[in-house]
Amino acid sequence: MTASIQGMPAKGELVLRLRGISKNFGAVSALTDIELDVNAGEVVALVGDNGAGKSTLVKVLAGVHQPTSGTIEFNGQGVTLDSPGKALDLGIATVFQDLALCENLDVVANLFLGHEMSPWNLDEVAMEVRAWKLLRELAARIPSVREPIASLSGGQRQTVAIARSLLLNPKVIMLDEPTAALGVAQTAEVLNLIERVRERGLGVIIISHNMEDVRAVADRIVVLRLGRNNGVFTPDASNQELVAAITGATENSVSRRLERKSGLANEASGALP
């Protein structure tokens, strides 16, 4: 099997491997012995309650935090992610929840901000052509690359942020809560975009609290709890299994709680005139 894009790993090939990753902030242990594998052309969802360690792990991979211990392999080579620039140079791109877009600039300017064709002579035509090409490949629903970011919907802004991360041809892209605060149509747009990024042969890591969205696109679901691995699941895992892993409750207690909620909802529905 060959890669879908020249220079990309073949689909299913191991791209990112974490073993024994721990991160301490003074006496506080945020991550303990984390293991994670990400393959080319695969979407891995990281889920867990607040404080589970998801954001810390993303920042370790983005080069913002350096792990206290453990090893990171990228394309089969041991690497040290000691800065965001190093992570980007290696091929790990991150789209944080705030997107970091400039509202007063248009789509082209946001895509190439900091990555202009030349520091002395901006090639506006070449940048516009590249912007249209990339957005067409992603089937993005953006009316014009000269549209100011301020006039775009939440889904369109997420699209621009993801497209910007693809300009440096990464092999892994991390998306932090990509559908948070989006409506139904905009969420569907972003989920379709994630599918197309996967089709390009990238390894995709998404962090999300929305289990419906996770089930829609993920190939594997990795649960973190209290800074530790607490299970790896397929998207067809039951709600009871996932909630038990996320909260630490037993499956029986989760099942009873879900049944009780369902019964209360049915009673409320029956009481309506």
Q: Which segments of the chain have a pLDDT < 70?
A: 1-7, 116-122, 250-273
Task: Give the DSSP H/E element, type plus range, for residue 261.
Answer: helix 251-271
Q: In sequence order, what are the beta bridge partners of 135?
A: none
What confidence score (pLDDT) does residue 2 get? Answer: 36
Domain ranges of the chain: 14-237, 239-273
Residue 214 CB partners (closer than 8 Å, separation 6+): 45, 47, 206, 208, 221, 235
- What is the Cα–Cα distance from 216 to 224, expressed in whole angstroms? 20
- Per-residue pLDDT of 194-219, as tens digits, reads 999 999 999 999 999 899 999 999 99
Distance CA 231, CA 82 (A): 28
pLDDT at 174: 96
- Answer yes or no: are the C-beta atoms of 101 and 157 closer than 8 Å: yes
- Class for the domain spanning 14-237: alpha beta
Q: What is the pLDDT of residue 3?
A: 39
Predicted pLDDT of residue 98: 87
Q: What is the pLDDT of residue 202?
A: 96
Residue 265: predicted pLDDT: 57
CB 217 within 8 A of CB 189: no
SS3 content of the chain, % helix, strand, coil (to 5): 40, 25, 35
DSSP state of 63: T
For 26-65, what is each residue's pLDDT tens digit?
999 999 999 999 999 999 999 999 999 999 999 999 999 9
Element (H, E) at 127: helix 124-137
Among 33, 62, 68, CA closest to 224: 33
Dihedral of alpha carbons 183, 185, 190, 194, sign = positive
Tokens 């994630």 appear where?
194
DSSP code of 36?
A: E
pTM as predicted: 0.84
pLDDT score for 152 = 92
Look-up: residue for tokens 């067409």?
136
Q: State the Cα torsion 72-74-77-78 to the nearest 10°.
A: -20
Residue 233 has a pLDDT of: 96
